Structure 1
């Protein structure tokens, strides 16, 4: 019995260990709802205020509809799960949309918030979307 007790304790401990949850797929996150930019930093300067009132709807067909309340813009988005990146392209003369239209690397993905960086090792830009 003395030899069996440590084994049972070890099994109980192993059974109580939880596997970390996998990050949800980006497409399933983005295509569920309407999003706003809750953070846009460039060279440590917070420029989030430029996106006040902007709304983003990411569609399953990899298109994105963007509205600032008075105008609507169209674009595309794509993800590469193997490379852990996200690309957004919005055709517009609006500087705010040009600034975010490029390749981003995933930093944090949750069902309510996604955070991207423009460079994994030395980011100079960060872009965060939060679900409305």
Structure 2
């Protein structure tokens, strides 16, 4: 019985452990719904207010439509799961859209929120989308 107790305890510990959920693919997250920018920072300066009212719809064909309520802009997006990065390119003369149009690295991916960063650029940047 003394030898059986440790084995039973180990079985209980390993049996109760759950495998963490794998991060869902970025495409399945982004193409499900409409998104807004809930955070945009450069060198720890918060510029999120510049994106108030902007809405982003990411399409399965790797296009993105962006609207601020009066104007609509088109662009493209792409992901590289092996490199864990995301690229967005929006055709616009709007400074706000130019600021976010480049390569981003995945930091956090959930079904309601995606957070990207780029600490290889100067200035360092963070970009977060939240589902509406």
3-state SS in 1 of match to 2:69: coil
The reply on whether 1:42 has 2:50 as its aligned counterpart is no
Counterparts of 1:87-98 in structure 2, within 5 Å, are 87-98=87-98
Partner of 2:67: 67
In 1, the alpha carbon distance for the partners of 2:81 and 2:10 equals 36
Give me the CA root mean square deviation: 1.5
Partner of 2:118: 118
3-state SS in 2 of match to 1:33: coil
Partner of 2:51: 51
Gaps of 5+ in 1: none
3-state SS in 2 of match to 1:8: helix
In 2, the alpha carbon distance for the partners of 1:31 and 1:20 equals 24
Counterparts of 1:16-31 in structure 2, within 5 Å, are 16-31=16-31
In 2, the alpha carbon distance for the partners of 1:43 and 1:98 equals 17
With structure 1 as the length reference, what TM-score do the two structures score? 0.96
With structure 2 as the length reference, what TM-score do the two structures score? 0.96
CA apart distance, 1:121 = 9.9
CA apart distance, 1:43 = 1.5
Alpha-carbon spacing, 1:123–1:22, altered in 2? closer, same or farther (3 Å): farther
Partner of 2:9: 9
In 1, the alpha carbon distance for the partners of 2:31 and 2:123 equals 26
In 1, the alpha carbon distance for the partners of 2:31 and 2:120 equals 24
